[in-house]
Amino acid sequence: MSWPGGYGRRVLAEVDSTNAEAARLADTLAGPEWICALRQTAARGRRGRPWANPPGNFAATLVFRPEGDARQVALRSFVAALALYDALASLTRAEAALSLKWPNDVLLSGGKVAGILLEYPAGPGGPLAIGVGVNLIAAPGAEAVEPGAVPPVSVLAETGVRLSPEGVLDALAEAYARHEGALVTYGFGPIREAWLARAARVGEVITARTGREERRGTFETVDDDGNLVLKTAEGRVRIAAADVFF
């Protein structure tokens, strides 16, 4: 597997978090760079939640300056999800057990095996950091997630395949570069269709919770801006950001 041209590769023995390291390095990088840590001491998930990252699991961040406005930049969560799906499918041969959960999780056998976090280390308009965490060897216990959330799983427990962080990094970087090229060349349409083809629970009733409200409805699609589209008793609703519960 070849490393994609134009992307830097940095593997660290230990760091507080790869997104924090991306923030420190962002202004010094000449181009896109992947930062992978074999151990994190202060990993974070969405909304500042702690992310369990024992040795052997995967943690990496891609930091770069994508073109486009904030809406277009945010679509990289779909690019990253597709890339991670492809990387895990190729390494485990368990494609049939993988699916994607809006807005930015990868599921394996119905459990959460990976999460993706997009941040602007220097604020909007600056470099984008795409953090990726994968439970390769171990997953947190069900008590570590909020009630009703998808239970965590690991690649090793579900597939019997032991993957190395460096091997996952190489596969992910290659897949990401391929999908990023497609987004830049052809727009979001093909990315959206590919994501929907791998999405979990399309056509089923799900719950979307924001900090202010809860919406329950049938998961119809994802629109051209990446919003979740639900069919509810009050009509069709588009949701830009939420936690989804099955």
Query: CATH number of the domain that 220 lies in?
Result: 2.30.30.100
Mean pLDDT of 88-107: 97
Residue 212 and residue 172 share a domain: no
Give the phi and the psi of residue 162 in degrees, each rounded to 5. -100, 110
DSSP helix/strand/coil, 95: helix
Residue 118 and residue 34 share a domain: yes
When divided into structural domains, the chain yields a total of 2
| Segment 68-83, tens digit of pLDDT | 888 899 999 999 999 9
Residue 225 and residue 183 share a domain: no
**Is 1 a member of any domain?**
no
Range of the domain at 175: 8-197
| Segment 114-134, tens digit of pLDDT | 999 999 877 777 899 999 999
| Segment 27-46, tens digit of pLDDT | 888 899 999 999 988 766 55
**Is 25 a member of any domain?**
yes
Give me the pLDDT at residue 11, please.
Answer: 96
**Is 222 a member of any domain?**
yes
Give me the pLDDT at residue 43, please.
Answer: 66
Q: How far apart are the C-alpha atoms of 85 and 198, rounded to whole Å?
A: 9
Residues 6+ apart with CB under 8 A from 78: 188, 191, 192, 195, 222, 226
Give me the pLDDT at residue 99, please.
Answer: 98
Residue 160 and residue 136 share a domain: yes
Residue 212 and residue 179 share a domain: no
Give me the pLDDT at residue 44, please.
Answer: 62
**Is 123 a member of any domain?**
yes
| Whether the predicted pLDDT of 49 surpasses 70 | no
Strands across the sheet containing 205-209: 235-239, 228-232, 214-222, 205-209, 243-245
Give me the pLDDT at residue 51, please.
Answer: 57
Mean pLDDT of 55-67: 94
Whether the model clears a pTM of 0.85, i.e. scores above it, the answer is yes
Residue 191 and residue 219 share a domain: no
Residue 225 and residue 174 share a domain: no
**Is 53 a member of any domain?**
yes
**152: which strand partners?**
112
CB atoms inside a 10 Å sphere around CB 233: 6
Mean pLDDT of 155-160: 98
CB atoms inside a 10 Å sphere around CB 213: 9
Give the phi and the psi of residue 210 in degrees, each rounded to 5. -110, 180
**Is 3 a member of any domain?**
no
**Is 81 a member of any domain?**
yes
Which helix or strand (DSSP H or E) is residue 74 part of?
Answer: helix 70-74
Residue 131 and residue 41 share a domain: yes
DSSP helix/strand/coil, 103: coil
Residue 231 and residue 142 share a domain: no
Give me the pLDDT at residue 172, please.
Answer: 98
**Is 2 a member of any domain?**
no
DSSP helix/strand/coil, 96: helix
pLDDT-derived band at 202 (thresholds 50, 70, 90) equals very high
Residue 134 and residue 186 share a domain: yes
